[in-house]
Structure formats: structure tokens, C-alpha cells
Structure 1
Amino acid sequence: MTERTRTTRWRRMLPTTARTRIIGWVLLLVMAALGIVTLATWLLLKSSINARMDEALRVEVEEFGELSAPGVNPRTGAPFAGIDEVIHEAIAYNIARPNEKFLGYVDGVYRTQSRQEPGATEVLAKDQAFRQRVASVTEPTEGRYEHPEAGEVRYLAIPVSLDGDDSRGVIVAAYLGDAEREAADNAARMMLLVGSVTVVLAAGAAWLLAGRILHPLNDVVDTARTITDTDMSQRIPMRRGGERDEINELVATLNGMLDRIEAGVAAQRRFIDDAGHELRTPITIVRGHLEVLDPADPEDITATVALVDDELTRMNRMVTDLLVLAHSEQPTFLQPEYTDVAVLTEDAFVKLSRLAERNFVLETTANVTAVLDPQRITQALVALADNASRFTEPGGRIGIGSQLSGGWLRFWVSDSGPGVSPEDQARIFDRFARGSGGRQVGEGAGLGLSIVRAIAVAHGGDVLLDSVQGRGATFTITIPAVLEDRWPAS
């Protein structure tokens, strides 16, 4: 088995759901924290107990010295008769604490010990190895001894002498270290026990919390499963209370994305339906005339060819407009450059004034240099002027102008036509939409104003319509004024 195969099998054994991974990490953190706290507490308790035992041994040495230094028995007031009496009185005078023991030796032979807990300290009195270590010391000796039954023994052996007595005595103060540290061990075991229960409770709490936290994600999955290409109305429910937390922010963002997708799909569906309808119409017209064409009639052939050419021209224009709209969503749609807005407006006016037999008027120009795509702006103005000429009588007034106002560049085309009805104003910029008041409604495909809006939006602006029915209309392209002195040098 290769290393890669073993790694793959190991990964498959690991929890795969987000809920189990959350619980696993929570438990890992809780256990790590529990282990660190328990270990640190146990070490601190042991260190404190060891320091207390060492300090107690030093205090005992001082007490032994104070007792034997005068050479007088404090209980009888008479001088000590010998080393045996000094050792017996010293051990009897000092009260041993739990796990503490005093032992006395004379000339290397064990003589006496403190009376507390005799069963626990007999092991020291009878231990020959310990006796050989401490019974014959000639100077204060501190050390540790590992007893086979009692464990670690911390001791301090003090030699004792008395004038007039050649015997050599030793008093030993000893602590059973393992027994003294049993309290710290018990505390650590209790912490581990309580910690184990805590881990179990934490696992249960993590399971519930993970389920609550991940519930919106389950809603996302359930909602995504219900969305089809024919029904995109389902939305992810918000959490109760409407708190602005990360989960609700995620839900709101996803719902907004679904709204945009639904709107985009609906627009695409309408676009496909409308485009299909608009393209089928000239095809149907051409096919109908070709089916009834009389090959023997030159006039019928000439009229049919003219009609077919006209319909193909209209189809070509419609396809071109569709390609422009599709290209408007690409980054390369615009080619911005430094442009003299006044010159751009005047050039556009010259071109538009020959568009139809109308009274074209150049109202005003913005004398600034700005960064924009002059060809696309001209294209938009042409579309607006063409639209205005369709809805005005011969000799009607069409005004063209540009202006800088409040950080925005405005290009407009106004006309003296019948205006736009309120119901048409709500949809006039939609693709394939046509106004209801035009004189030559059938000539266009209803894409001109959509292209104008696409050009304005690509520049970061929009198209505004100001119209009163019966008194004309004004279409205004507004784009941010990126002036020459604000454009970064290349």
C-alpha cells in the first residue's frame, strides 16, 4: 500500500460533515485546555508542597539546635545525662505533622522515633539502607531517599554531641514525599474527572450549537434544490429576530444574488421571446410573399425583391443592435479618451441635422475636456435624434446640447413631438419596447433606447426622460464628469 493510498483512506475515516468537524475542533480545544490547566495546577501544587516540606525540615533543625545547645533538659531543668537523653527529649519535644517523622540514632544504631502513625513510619526505622545513609553523618545532611514501599523520602540528618559523652548521635527529620503529595494527585484526578464530564457536556452543547449555526446552510441547500429554470421564486428564510449577524448577512447576500439571478433569467427569457418574435416577423413576411410570387410577372418580381431587401435590411439592423447590446457588457465596449465636449457636441449636431427634415437647434455646449468614448456618445445621440425624428412632424423642433452640472456631464435631445405617455415611460427603455404615439412605429425594432441606456450605464451614468404628454420629450444622458485635470497621467 502506497503512502498516498494510506493518506486517502485516513482522510475518508475522518468526519466529513461540517457539524462533526465543528464538534471535533471544539472537543479538541476543550481537552487541550483541560490538559494544560490540569498539568499546570498539578505542577504548581507539587512545587508548593515540596517547598513547604523543605522549609519545615529547616525549621525542625533550628528547633533541635535550640533545644540541645544549652545542655539542659527543658523538662527537668537538669543537665542532660547523655546523648540518648538528648535524642529522646528532642524527638518527644517536637510534634510531628502528618507524613512527617523524627528518628534518633546513637553510634549508628536506631534508638527511637516519633509516635505518630507508627505503621507508616516503621518502614524507615527498619530500613537498613536508610540507616546506613543517615545514622553516621558528621555534619547536617539534606537529601532524598527512594523507599521501595513508601516512595520518595525527603530528609535532613543532624549530628548531635554532648560534652562529657563520647557517643555520637543523629536526629533525622523525614517527610514521606509521595504521601504528602497525594493531595495534589487527588486534586489532579478530580480535575480530570470533572473535565471529562465537561467534555461530554461540551460535546452535547457543541452538537446543538453547530446545528443551530448550520441551520441556515441547510436552508440554502433546501432552497437551492427547489430552484428550477421555471421557478426561481424561493428564498432562504432569515433567522428569527432579524439580527444583523454574519449568518443573516450571508442569507441576505444569497437572497439578493437569487433576486438578481431571477431578474436576469426573466430578462433573458423576455429578450429571447421578443427577439424570436421580432426575427420571425420579417422571415414570415418574406416567406409569404415568395410563396405567392408569380415568376411570369416582372412587376411582381420587382416588388417582391424590394420587399425582401427591405426586410433583410431591417433584420440586419436588428442583429447589429443585438450585437451592440451583447457587447455592452464586455470591458472593451468603451474606448475612453480625452475629448473636447463642445467639439463633440457640435460635430454630432452637424451629423444629426441631416438626419431628417426637422428644425435642428444646437442649444448649448459644455466647454470642458473630459474622458469618455466619443464614438459611443455620438452613437447614443444619433439614436435619440432618430427616435425624436420618428415622433415629430416635418419641420418640428429637435434640440441638441451638452452641459456640465454638479460633477455630471449632460447630453440631451429634446423634441416638440406628442411626448411619452406615463404608461410608456415605465417601459420605454426595455428591449423591443415601442412607444404608442409614434408615426412610424413599424420601422424600428425597439432597441434604440436600450442601446442608449447601455452606453450611459457603461460610462457609469444613466438616461433620464422628462416628458409631458402633448408637449414633447427630453432624453438626457448623464455620466460622471471625469475631467482632464482629474484623470491620472498614463
Structure 2
Amino acid sequence: MSGDGAERQARGRRARGRDRTPLRTRLALLACATVALITVGVCVASYAVIRYELGHQLELQLAQAATLATQQNRGEPPGVLSGECRYLAAPACAQLVPAGPADDPGEPYLLPVTGATRAVAAGTRAPYYTDLALQGHRVRMLTTPYTGGRAGTALQVALRSDPTAKGLRQATVLLAAISVAGVLLAAAGGYWVARRGLAPVARLTATAERIAATRDARTRIDLPPGRRDELSRLAASFNTMLGELEESVAARRRLVADASHELRTPLTALRTNAELLARADRLTPAQRERASSALGRQIHEVTSLVNDLIELARDEEPRPLVEEVALAPLVAHAVRAARAHWPAVSFTLTVLPEAEGVTLPGVPSRLSRLVANLLGNAAKFTPPGGGPVEVVLTRRELTVRDHGPGIAPGDLPHVFDRFYRAEGARALPGSGLGLAMVRQIARAHGAEVSAEAAVGGGALFRVTFSASSPRG
């Protein structure tokens, strides 16, 4: 296997390992790592500041000791000025070093003398600090030019630095303990934050898994009162989606139940007439004619019912078929078709001038079906010799009014329900799907349809277009 293939496999294994890690664990680790890095960074910065301040304080003491030694030992020859650096309470060790070894005193120096010391005495090098061990103790030494009278001499002063080192060690231990405690607290806090913050997600996941296992869309996520954060909004949206899913499932079940109930009678009649025609040799010509005519009518009814069910099963209009539809010509054509289909009923059409040229984005065939169903419903309830079916089109509204028996108050809330037929309409032809299709088509085109009792008798159906839909 090539190196690239092995590397891709390794990346794939790492990605699968991350995918299997629970989100709560990943969030806890992320929070812990973030807080731990911040804690460690603060402790490191604090250590650097403490180290600088302690060292700077020691250097200030050395500078003060050098000034004091210069003032107290003016005109002194090279040699040791004070040499008790082994005691913390003693003054600083001090000595004068000439630029040339020939001028050295007879007694040995207490502090180490190097070429750098001679260079400072000669004025060719700047003052400097040195860390060294003296008599078993750590000291810090300052070498600077001597300004107490004799030129070409360097002053060396030293102080014990082990108190500073001890303070730095104590600060290190304390900051390390703080870092460890911070990491532990970060781990606990990260776990708590992940557990508390992802609780709605855990409830949402459990609810989704329960719905998938039981197929029961009535389950909901319990929302804590008063919370308005993003996860609570997600849970609320999920509950809303579940409610719509439950309503969709219930509507589908009702549609299947209603359709099966409505199809049972015509299918039974179809089967009866088909079996009757199968024994046509035993029937008279008149009986065969009646059975054949009944079979044709029933096939037409079943075909219409199935087509209506297919239309109702569509949730939205097909977008490629949407175009700007002129309402006035469409309504006029529907009225002419209704006059031809219902010659015994009188239809009147009034198109207000404001409605001329008004267009609506939609599917022409579906809008024609909406108007045709309203006209057919009005004609079906118009008695022979009754008043006309009045159709009025304005810029924002289409009304269809008949002069029939009207709609009972108890039936008004249900006239647009599927398969619903009022008590007085059950003897009339139809499946109870026409007005349900009217409401579905109207809503798909951004309109609302309503029914009410007309003044003076009859029923009035009103289709109101939204303010943004019609464009003229």
C-alpha cells in the first residue's frame, strides 16, 4: 500500500473515532481545555512577573548598597571593604578592584575578579550583574565603576540571593498548585456545562428516538418555563414540527378512512352491476340497458372521486406551471361553462372596472377548478325556477351567491371539510370533496375562502385574495 493510501486510512480512522465520541464529552473536553489553557497561561505570566519583580528588587538593593559603599569609603585604596556576605543581616560584601593587576592589594579579594571586572574599572565596559556562589551561599553581584575619588577602579558589591530564590520557589509551588486546581475545576465545570447546556439536546434526541421506535408523533419535549435560549427555541421548534407531523399523520389517516368509506358504496354497486351484466343472457334488453347505464354512471362517479382525491393529496402547486393568470377572463369562461352544464340555472356575472386587468400568479387549470366547484355547488342547491347564481369579481375578492336553502349554522364550520355533506345535501350528487378542493386551491394561491348565510336567503361564498397576490 502506498504512503498516501495509508495516510488516508489513518485520517479516516481518526475521523471515525471523533464521530463516535459523544457530543457532551467533546464539549466538556473543549471547555476543560480552554479553561485549563487560560489558567496555565495566567500562572506562567504570574511566575514571569514575580520572578522579574523579585530580581528587580534585589538589583535595586545592590544599587543602593553600591551608592552607600561609595559614600562611606571615599578615597579608599583597592581591597576588600566589607566581607560578611554569609549573613543575611550583614551589609553587602564590597571591594575595590583596580584596572591593572599591578595595583592589586596584598590580601586576596573576597569576590571573584575577572577580565570583565578590569574592563569596567578601565571604563571600557558597562556595569553588569553576576550570579555566583560565595561561602556556600548564592549571591548576586554588581560590578560598577567606582566614583569615590580614585579613577580606574571598579566597585563590586554582592548580596545573598537565596531569599529571592526561596520566594521564587514558593511562588512556583503555589502557582503549580493553582494550575492543577484550575485544571480540575475546569474539568468539573466543563462536564457540568456540557451536561446542563446539552440537556435540551439530550431530551430532543431521546424524544426523536422514542418517536422512531414507537411511531407516535404525540410525544413532546418538556420545556422549562421562562427559558428563551437557542436550545429552548430549538426544542420549541421541534415540538411545533411534531405537532404538524401529528396533524399530517392524522389528516392522512382521516383521508384514507373517509376515502375507503366513500369508495365502498360505489365499488359495491359496480361489482353488483358487473356481476349482473355477466349473466346478461338471463336479462331482458331493458334490464341490460339499465344495468349498463348504471355501470357507466358508477364508473364516472368513482373516476371523479379518485381524481378529486389525487388533487387533494397534492400539497402545493407545481412551480413550472405557475404563471400570471388574468382573473376576469378566467371567471367569465367558468361562468359560460357552468351555463352550458346547468342550463336550468341562471348565472349572472358582474366584473367591476377595478378588476379588469388584475392578474394572480397561479396555475390556470387549478384556479378554473376553484371557480367551477363554487359555481357547481351553488347550482346544485338552486331549486328549479329559483333565483340566479350571482358572481361578482372585484380587485381583491370573488363572491358566489345562490338563492337556495342556505347553510345551517351548525354546518358552517364544516362545509370545507373533506367528505362532509350536510343533512339536506346527502341526497344530492357529489362526494363532498368539491369545497375541500376550493379551500386547498385558494390557500395554495395565497387566498382565503369563507362561507356565510346570504342576506335574504341562500349561501354566499367569498374568496379573498391576499394584498400581495393580485397585481394589475
**Both structures adopt the same fold (TM-score exceeding 0.5):** yes
Asked whether the 8 Å contact 1:154–1:175 carries over to 2, the reply is yes
Q: Which residue of 2 aligns with 1:395?
A: 385
SS at match of 2:307: helix
C-alpha distance in 2 between matches for 1:30 and 1:459: 55
2:25 counterpart residue number: 20
The structure-2 alpha-carbon separation of the partners of 1:453 and 1:98, relative to structure 1 and needing over 3 Å to count, comes to farther
Q: 1:308 aligns with which of 295, 311, 314?
A: 295
Tell me which residue corresponds to 2:122: 139
Distance 2:320 2:432 in 1: 21
1:345-424 maps to which residues of 2 (within 5 A)? 345-356=331-342, 357-365=344-352, 366-372=354-360, 373=362, 374-397=364-387, 398-404=389-395, 409-424=396-411
Instruction: Tell me the percent identity.
Output: 27
Call closer, same or farther: CA 1:20–1:288 in 2, change over 3 Å.
same
Distance 1:236 1:472 in 2: 48
3-state SS of paired residue (2:358)? strand
CA shift for structure 1 position 237: 0.9
Change (3 A) 1:100 1:62: closer
Shift of 1:30: 0.9
- SS of the residue corresponding to residue 423 of structure 1 reads coil
Match among 449, 464, 481 for residue 435 of structure 2 = 449
- Between the aligned partners of 1:177 and 1:477, the Cα distance in structure 2 is 96
- Following superposition, the deviation at residue 279 of structure 1 comes to 2.8
- After TM superposition, give the deviation of residue 151 of structure 1 in Å: 7.0
Does residue 46 of the first structure (1) align with residue 30 of the second (2)? no
Whole-angstrom distance in 2 between the partners of 1:285 and 1:459: 38
Residue in 1 that maps onto 2:180: 196
Q: 1:61 offset after TM fit, Å?
A: 3.5
Superposed CA offset, 1:199-253 (max 9, x none): 22232233233222222223223333443676332211111x3322223212211
Report the counterpart of residue 222 of structure 2 in structure 1: 237
Determine the C-alpha separation between the residues in 2 that align with 1:131 and 1:181: 24
State the SS of the aligned residue for 2:127: strand
Say if 2:451 and 2:461, in contact at 8 Å, map to a contact too: yes
Deviations 1:320-369 (A, max 9, x none): 22232234524438523152x44444343333333321232224534343
Equivalent residue for 2:252?
A: 268
Structure 1: runs of 5+ lacking an equivalent: 72-79, 114-124, 486-490
Q: How does 1:331-346 map to 2 (within 5 A)?
A: 331-332=318-319, 335-337=322-324, 339=326, 341-346=327-332
Amino acid at match of 2:259: A
The 1:450/1:295 distance shift into structure 2, 3 A limit, reads: same
Q: How many residues align?
A: 447
Letter in 2 for 1:358: V
Q: Which moved more, 1:152-161 or 1:189-198?
A: 152-161
Q: Which residue of 1 aligns with 2:35?
A: 30
Instruction: Show the 5 A alignment for 1:288-303.
Output: 288-293=272-277, 294-296=279-281, 297=283, 298-303=285-290
C-alpha separation between the residues in 1 aligned to 2:215 and 2:399?
41
* In 1: Cα distance, 2:91 partner to 2:220 partner: 76
Work out whether 1:206 is the aligned partner of 2:190: yes
CA distance in 2, matches of 1:100, 1:91: 8
Within 2, Cα distance between the matches of 1:275 and 1:5?
A: 55
Displacement of 1:58 in angstroms is 3.6
Q: Does 1:480 align with 2:466?
A: yes
Please state how far the C-alpha of 1:410 moved relative to its aligned partner: 0.8
Residue 451 (structure 1) shift: 1.4
Match of 1:282 in 2: 266
Alpha-carbon shift at residue 454 of structure 1 (Å): 1.6
Query: Residue 119 of structure 1 corresponds to which residue in structure 2?
Result: none
Q: What's the secondary structure of 1:476's corresponding residue?
A: strand
Task: Show CA shifts across 1:277-329 (max 9, x none).
Answer: 32333221111122234322232222221111111111221222223223452
Question: Residue by residue, what CA displacement relative to the aligned partner does 1:164-185 show, whole Å, maximum 9, x if unpaired?
Answer: xx9x965312356676254345
Distance in 2 (CA, whole Å) between partners of 1:431 and 1:226 is 32
Gaps spanning 5+ residues in structure 2: where?
98-102
CA RMSD of aligned residues (A): 3.6
Measured after TM superposition, the shift of residue 7 of structure 1 is 3.4
Residue deviations 1:29-70 (CA, integer Å, cap 9, x gap):
11110122112222223333344444444444333333344x
Identify if the C-alpha distance between structure 1 residues 440 and 171 changes in structure 2 by more than 3 Å, giving closer, same or farther.
same
Q: Secondary structure at the match of 1:417?
A: coil
TM-score relative to the length of structure 2:
0.82
